Chain A
Amino acid sequence: MQDGSYKVVVNHEEQYSIWFADRPVPGGWRETGFSGEKQQCLDHIDQVWTDMRPRSLREAMGG
């Protein structure tokens, strides 16, 4: 993505990504409330997304 403003989004599997701040979030994703420059968003995700297993798998594994 180009430089500019982004927002941190997450899907039903609790997988994180980023999306253009000024555009509606694609279906199945929701905003986490964090937004900023691209690198800020990615750094934030590094902090909060600590288990990259999809949620359904995590639950199936009892984790």
Chain B
Amino acid sequence: MTRSYVFPASFAQERLWFLSRLEPDIPVQNLNVRIDLPGEIDPDRLRKALAGVVERHEALRTALVVEDGALVQLVAVELPVTMAVTDLTADDGRDGPGREKAFDELAAREAARPFELGAAPLWRAHLARVAAEDWRLVFVVHHAVFDARSGINLSDELTEHYEALGQGRPPRLPELPVQYADYAVWQREHLGGGVLDGQLGYWREKLDGIPADVELPADRPRPARRTYAGADYHADLPAGLAADLEALARGRGATLFMALLAGLKAVLARFAGRDDVVVGSPVAGRDLPEVGPLIGMFVNTLVLRTRFDGDPSFAEALERVRTTVVDALDHAEVPFDRLVEALHPHREANRPPLYQVQFNLLPMGGRPLFSNGTAQLDLSMDVVRTGDGIGVWVEYSTELFEEETVARLVTAYRVLLEAAVADPEARLSELPVMTEGQRRRLLAEANSTAAPYPELPLHELFAEQARRVPGATAVCTPEGAELTYAELTYAELDERSAALARELRACGVTDESCVAVCLPRDPALIVALLAVLRAGAHYLPLDPAYPPERLRYILEDSGARLVLTHPALRDRLPAQGPPQLLLDGLAPTAGPFPDGHAGETEPDGRAIAREALPDGPAGPQSPEPAPSPLPEVGPDRLAYLIYTSGSTGRPKGVEVPHRGVVNLVTDVLREQGDGDVLLLTSLSFDIAALEIFTPLLSGRTLIVAPDEAVKTPKEVRRAAERADLVQLTPSVAEMLLGELPHGLPRIIVGGEALPPDLAGRLLDVTPSLWNYYGPTETTVWSTRHRVEPGSAGIGTPVANTQVYVVDAALRPVPAGVPGELLIGGAGVARGYHGRAGLTAERFVPDPFGAPGGRLYRTGDLVRWSAAGVLEFLGRLDHQVKVRGVRIEPDEVAAVLAEHPRVRRAVVVVRDDAPGGRGLVAYVDWASGEPTPDPGPAGHAADTGHAADTGHAADTGHAADTGHAEAVARLREHLRPRVTDAMIPVAFVLVDGFPMLPSGKLDRAALPPPAAGPAPSFVPPRTPMEQTLAAVWGELLGRERVGVTDDFFALGGHSLLVVRLIGRIADEFGVELSLRRCFDASTVEEQALAVLEASLTDADLLDLLAEEER
């Protein structure tokens, strides 16, 4: 047994030991050094040289163990030194590249093995001969005993020892008056004397309110549990840049390091869309000259926080970074882990605390480290100044990033630094983060969508078809539907709509008049719409299901000249309002329609006869003998006025010209071909225009599903059987999925985000599934995506449409970075009816495209994917921050929907969530066994629901499974899949979701969550909880500990966890792993963990047997 000495561990060792114990199987704390040796090497002499180094440096003979609840260094007085040797040239079959590959594999194998920290040495060496005079030493060492400077010292000493051995002389090396253990002792004494407290005060203030996450846009969401999978990326920056930056920095009293850091922070600020940027940076920690030549872990990490508020110039940003760095260096002695303990930020197992991005400027000419496929942080950038430029190495988490994303970031770094050097007075928001090529691809190439479309209004294009195929069926209703006219040919539709148009003109409708249309969904509706357009007017759809107040408001706000309605619907309309023209003439008893008798048969005189109109002609007394000519209508005249609900305030009317609809229909026909189309959507939802005009502009048939279709799925099935194209919202698709005929040629979904599982089920129904996206303000749809299995996104712009993803300053953001979507082109609406100011706010000057153009600001958050497809991320105004972390509610809903018993889940942000603004989940929960088909019957706005906040008892939800249990299962389902902050504070079980007439989810009608008791003190309930709470109280210095209190929130830290594990072992005779203890961070969770751990296999068998009885 070799003699050992015991010393206290340094603070850095405590942190690294803790992290290693947390993930004992992941070699993320290994430093992997490659040393290229000159000339021919004598392996035995090199081993002796290495032994010489080990003899000189205690760190290389050190192990770390816990003694009496404290971590100590166990330094062996002597240690046998072994070094593996492999001659890769021995195998003659290998050529040069083969030997390189073999070396890489050898190095990777060594680097991939974790160290057991309780046994020295915490390093291993492997010498490889790759070719004659090409020897390389692979030295893999745990970070707890080594750092970057140690690498230089090792390399220098090894060479000197080797040469001295060859010359038979003692090595010429500096004296080592102290050893690492001395430093550790000194550090504790030094910091104990008030230095720590003084410096901590600075950091508490400086890091107050620090962002929880750097929020660098990632390719994948942060997983619930880190695997530390990582990779390296390397790029070289141009030679002149380093010199220019250094000159820029020097001229402002700063350093190259500060200038490089300012550049990185500026890029992070732009990519993350925030002005508070935190980056970690290591400092050597070797200020004492005696420790210079030592091998050991001296590095500390500084948390460098800089605020770029007020959009400073680069020069100003550099000054702020300079101040940040200088101040930090003045307080650099606080060990990082002490900082974490002092600030105790909310710990999440999947997020590095305090900072996620690191920056370092290495002093050496090269970087001898190689990757072992791990990454400690999201992103760690090492910059090395070389003879001919700047080398940039980025170690990144492959859990979050693709290589090309990192490459884009590094490119942005170069582009921004170059621009900053050229013009240091440019504001950060003005500095480019894309190359000219990238910019051109996003702004121009992705938007080169020019394609011809007719400069004619919709009804002219319909009339062309009527001339071409007069006998073809234009409109029909499904067989069996009890409607008067089952079919209209093109000729009939043409005649009837022309006649009604004249009627409308006679009633005083003129150019640009607004005509409200409140009619049941049947062929007469189509006659009416075409008639309105042919009369030179535009239609305003009125859904009779709207609340009376809304109908009244819309009629008044629109200034509608006339209402076209049906006797059966008149009662729904406000008594005061524009004149009504009753379209009852379609009834066979009322005679042939529409030869001037519409409205006349109305008996009660309450209305509406057209003679009531002020400037109409005299009415039936003066029937026009010859058809009067209908007005000429250009494509910029309005086709319809549609009211949409804003998230706040009154509904607003969007004025949509013919041009956009014609362009879209032309594009759909070009992309998808013609066919018979089902009219399923309510006219009050603008997308119905696509359903109506796509067949009518191509000589095909519009199949009108009856109004109640959505409530009578059999009708839908009958109607859809004839259709080539069906368009629906995901909400409606979810309900009608079972009724859609298999082999339906095409389906368009849109209006809401398309859940991936629904996309999969729709692809079982149709070979051609299209996801469309677009706001009413840019005419029905603006982007489209052909959905393939596993592919997501809203695709690329439709014809003659431009899309731009921009930041808050309306500057384009790079691919992969979320931004607001702006849309320009043929579909841009005229504006909001009667609301010039609102129009000016939402329709802004186009700085990218044709001069004088306008772009509509969608308020939607999107990004360009690597594949060049737009991805919809949510609404800007639905974003919520929980504990400082940006949360996307739809992401949580998608994970909930993966649970087999969740039929559908919706997650929203509510101000009335328990504890204030937070996430509330609404879940359609299948009680009992999962049954995939709920049927549409239960879906209505007024069905019962039950609410729960996770604390309340069963509220009596009519389900065989208790409500509380369902909520518990949902939480259990979420916990391993999403971050803590993404778990909703309340769950509401619903029997279906309220829908708007448009077929979209009615968010406003979702019930409020029941108020639950605020989390408060819960006393221990079992002897085990009592014991645990007492142990906690003792360790944490607290008199009272509740079973739901969190260990870390009460001030617990890594070393205390270690002591806690020891105390648990004493009390209960079981040893919990560090990981388990870290996860189970409340008393009640820990009690469960102890119970689990104390069950023997025999106990488990007993339990199982009991279960079976």
Say if the beta carbon of B845 comes within 8 Å of chain A. Answer: yes
Look across to chain B and name the residue whose beta carbon is closest to the beta carbon of A51.
B836
Say if the beta carbon of B840 comes within 8 Å of chain A. Answer: yes
In the assembled complex, which residues on chain B have CB atoms less than 8 Å from the CB atom of A54?
636, 830
Say if the beta carbon of B851 comes within 8 Å of chain A. Answer: yes
> In the complex the two chains form, what is the Cα distance from A28 to B854 in whole Å?
10
Contact mask for chain B residues 836-863; partner A; CB cutoff 8 A; 1 contact, 0 none? 1111110111110011111000000000
Find out whether the CB atom of A61 lies under 8 angstroms from the CB atom of B511: yes
Given A11-B854, A27-B852, A29-B852; A42-B838 close (CB under 8 Å): yes
A residues 1-41 in Cβ contact with B at 8 Å: 1-2, 8-9, 11-13, 15-20, 25-29, 38, 41
B residues 871-901 in Cβ contact with A at 8 Å: none
Look across to chain B and name the residue whose beta carbon is closest to the beta carbon of A13.
B852
Contact mask for chain B residues 926-951; partner A; CB cutoff 8 A; 1 contact, 0 none? 00000000000000000000000000
> In the complex the two chains form, what is the Cα distance from A56 to B637 in whole Å?
11
Find out whether the CB atom of B844 lies under 8 angstroms from the CB atom of A45: no
Given A18-B844, A57-B637; A28-B852 close (CB under 8 Å): yes
Chain B nearest CB, measured from A12 CB (Å): 5
Given A13-B852, A28-B850, A28-B853; A19-B839 close (CB under 8 Å): no
Chain A-chain B contacts (Cβ-Cβ < 8 Å), number: 84
Look across to chain B and name the residue whose beta carbon is closest to the beta carbon of A25.
B845
Look across to chain A and name the residue whose beta carbon is closest to the beta carbon of B842.
A17
> In the complex the two chains form, what is the Cα distance from A49 to B634 in whole Å?
22
> In the complex the two chains form, what is the Cα distance from A53 to B682 in whole Å?
28
Other-chain contact of A43, B636, B637, B837, B853 (Cβ < 8 Å): B837
Other-chain contact of A45, B840, B847, B850 (Cβ < 8 Å): B840
> In the complex the two chains form, what is the Cα distance from A15 to B1071 in whole Å?
74
Say if the beta carbon of B809 comes within 8 Å of chain A. Answer: yes
Say if the beta carbon of B655 comes within 8 Å of chain A. Answer: yes
Find out whether the CB atom of A52 lies under 8 angstroms from the CB atom of B831: yes
Find out whether the CB atom of A49 lies under 8 angstroms from the CB atom of B840: yes
In the assembled complex, which residues on chain B have CB atoms less than 8 Å from the CB atom of A41?
840
Given A1-B810, A52-B655; A42-B512 close (CB under 8 Å): no
Find out whether the CB atom of B512 lies under 8 angstroms from the CB atom of A61: yes
In the assembled complex, which residues on chain B have CB atoms less than 8 Å from the CB atom of A12?
851-852
In the assembled complex, which residues on chain B have CB atoms less than 8 Å from the CB atom of A43?
837
In the assembled complex, which residues on chain B have CB atoms less than 8 Å from the CB atom of A28?
845-846, 850-853
Other-chain contact of B836, A9, A20, A45 (Cβ < 8 Å): A45
Say if the beta carbon of B568 comes within 8 Å of chain A. Answer: no
In the assembled complex, which residues on chain B have CB atoms less than 8 Å from the CB atom of A60?
634
Other-chain contact of A15, B512, B810, B850, B854 (Cβ < 8 Å): B854
In the assembled complex, which residues on chain A have CB atoms less than 8 Å from the CB atom of B852?
11-13, 27-29
Given A26-B846, A26-B847, A61-B511; A53-B841 close (CB under 8 Å): no
Chain A nearest CB, measured from B556 CB (Å): 18
> In the complex the two chains form, what is the Cα distance from A16 to B842 in whole Å?
11
In the assembled complex, which residues on chain B have CB atoms less than 8 Å from the CB atom of A57?
634, 636-637
Look across to chain B and name the residue whose beta carbon is closest to the beta carbon of A62.
B511
Look across to chain B and name the residue whose beta carbon is closest to the beta carbon of A52.
B831
Other-chain contact of B839, A11, A52, A53 (Cβ < 8 Å): A52
Find out whether the CB atom of A9 lies under 8 angstroms from the CB atom of B845: yes
Look across to chain B and name the residue whose beta carbon is closest to the beta carbon of A12.
B852
> In the complex the two chains form, what is the Cα distance from A18 to B857 in whole Å?
13
Find out whether the CB atom of B844 lies under 8 angstroms from the CB atom of A19: yes
Find out whether the CB atom of B809 lies under 8 angstroms from the CB atom of A49: no
Find out whether the CB atom of B850 lies under 8 angstroms from the CB atom of A42: no
> In the complex the two chains form, what is the Cα distance from A50 to B845 in whole Å?
19
Instruction: Say which size band chain A's interface belongs to.
Output: 20 to 34
> In the complex the two chains form, what is the Cα distance from A50 to B837 in whole Å?
10
Look across to chain B and name the residue whose beta carbon is closest to the beta carbon of A41.
B840
Chain B nearest CB, measured from A51 CB (Å): 9
Chain A nearest CB, measured from B1106 CB (Å): 64
> In the complex the two chains form, what is the Cα distance from A6 to B256 in whole Å?
38
Say if the beta carbon of B1 comes within 8 Å of chain A. Answer: no
Find out whether the CB atom of B836 lies under 8 angstroms from the CB atom of A2: no
> In the complex the two chains form, what is the Cα distance from A47 to B853 in whole Å?
22
Say if the beta carbon of B867 comes within 8 Å of chain A. Answer: no
Given A1-B844, A20-B809, A28-B852; A46-B837 close (CB under 8 Å): yes
Find out whether the CB atom of B854 lies under 8 angstroms from the CB atom of A17: yes
Chain A nearest CB, measured from B907 CB (Å): 28
Find out whether the CB atom of B840 lies under 8 angstroms from the CB atom of A53: no
Chain B nearest CB, measured from A19 CB (Å): 6
Given A28-B850, A29-B852; A42-B840 close (CB under 8 Å): yes
Find out whether the CB atom of B512 lies under 8 angstroms from the CB atom of A18: no
Say if the beta carbon of B1098 comes within 8 Å of chain A. Answer: no
In the assembled complex, which residues on chain A have CB atoms less than 8 Å from the CB atom of B843?
15, 17
Look across to chain B and name the residue whose beta carbon is closest to the beta carbon of A8.
B840
> In the complex the two chains form, what is the Cα distance from A43 to B655 in whole Å?
20
Other-chain contact of A16, B511, B808, B840, B853 (Cβ < 8 Å): B840
Given A2-B808, A53-B830, A54-B830; A17-B845 close (CB under 8 Å): yes
> In the complex the two chains form, what is the Cα distance from A1 to B806 in whole Å?
11
Given A26-B847, A52-B830; A16-B836 close (CB under 8 Å): yes
Given A26-B846, A26-B847, A28-B852; A52-B808 close (CB under 8 Å): no
Find out whether the CB atom of B836 lies under 8 angstroms from the CB atom of A52: yes
In the assembled complex, which residues on chain B have CB atoms less than 8 Å from the CB atom of A25?
845
In the assembled complex, which residues on chain B have CB atoms less than 8 Å from the CB atom of A53?
512, 830
> In the complex the two chains form, what is the Cα distance from A7 to B636 in whole Å?
27
> In the complex the two chains form, what is the Cα distance from A52 to B810 in whole Å?
24
Find out whether the CB atom of B845 lies under 8 angstroms from the CB atom of A19: yes
Find out whether the CB atom of B836 lies under 8 angstroms from the CB atom of A50: yes
Look across to chain A and name the residue whose beta carbon is closest to the beta carbon of B430.
A23
Find out whether the CB atom of B840 lies under 8 angstroms from the CB atom of A17: yes
Look across to chain A and name the residue whose beta carbon is closest to the beta carbon of B839.
A52
> In the complex the two chains form, what is the Cα distance from A43 to B852 in whole Å?
22
Find out whether the CB atom of B836 lies under 8 angstroms from the CB atom of A46: yes
Chain A nearest CB, measured from B512 CB (Å): 7
Find out whether the CB atom of B844 lies under 8 angstroms from the CB atom of A17: yes
In the assembled complex, which residues on chain A have CB atoms less than 8 Å from the CB atom of B808?
1-2
> In the complex the two chains form, what is the Cα distance from A46 to B845 in whole Å?
17
Chain B nearest CB, measured from A53 CB (Å): 7
> In the complex the two chains form, what is the Cα distance from A60 to B838 in whole Å?
26
Find out whether the CB atom of B845 lies under 8 angstroms from the CB atom of A11: yes
Given A11-B852, A49-B836; A29-B845 close (CB under 8 Å): yes
Look across to chain B and name the residue whose beta carbon is closest to the beta carbon of A46.
B837
In the assembled complex, which residues on chain A have CB atoms less than 8 Å from the CB atom of B854?
11, 15, 17
Find out whether the CB atom of A42 lies under 8 angstroms from the CB atom of B841: yes
In the assembled complex, which residues on chain A have CB atoms less than 8 Å from the CB atom of B511?
61
In the assembled complex, which residues on chain A have CB atoms less than 8 Å from the CB atom of B831?
15, 52
> In the complex the two chains form, what is the Cα distance from A12 to B851 in whole Å?
9
Chain A nearest CB, measured from B588 CB (Å): 40
In the assembled complex, which residues on chain A have CB atoms less than 8 Å from the CB atom of B809?
2, 20
Look across to chain A and name the residue whose beta carbon is closest to the beta carbon of B536.
A61
In the assembled complex, which residues on chain B have CB atoms less than 8 Å from the CB atom of A45?
836-837, 840
Find out whether the CB atom of A18 lies under 8 angstroms from the CB atom of B850: no
Contact mask for chain B residues 1067-1100; partner A; CB cutoff 8 A; 1 contact, 0 none? 0000000000000000000000000000000000
> In the complex the two chains form, what is the Cα distance from A50 to B853 in whole Å?
20
> In the complex the two chains form, what is the Cα distance from A26 to B851 in whole Å?
7
> In the complex the two chains form, what is the Cα distance from A52 to B847 in whole Å?
21
In the assembled complex, which residues on chain A have CB atoms less than 8 Å from the CB atom of B851?
12, 26-29
Chain B nearest CB, measured from A26 CB (Å): 4
In the assembled complex, which residues on chain A have CB atoms less than 8 Å from the CB atom of B636?
54, 56-57
Chain B nearest CB, measured from A30 CB (Å): 10
> In the complex the two chains form, what is the Cα distance from A43 to B634 in whole Å?
31
> In the complex the two chains form, what is the Cα distance from A18 to B512 in whole Å?
27
Query: Can you report 10 A-B residue pairs in the complex whose CB atoms are below 8 A from each other?
Result: A12-B852, A16-B836, A17-B840, A26-B846, A29-B851, A42-B840, A46-B836, A52-B655, A54-B636, A60-B634
- Give the top 7 A-B pairs by smallest Cβ distance, nearest first: A28-B852, A28-B851, A42-B837, A49-B836, A27-B851, A11-B852, A26-B847
Extra pairs beyond A16-B840, A49-B836 (14, CB < 8 Å): A11-B854, A15-B843, A16-B836, A17-B840, A25-B845, A28-B845, A29-B845, A38-B841, A42-B838, A42-B840, A43-B837, A50-B836, A52-B830, A53-B830
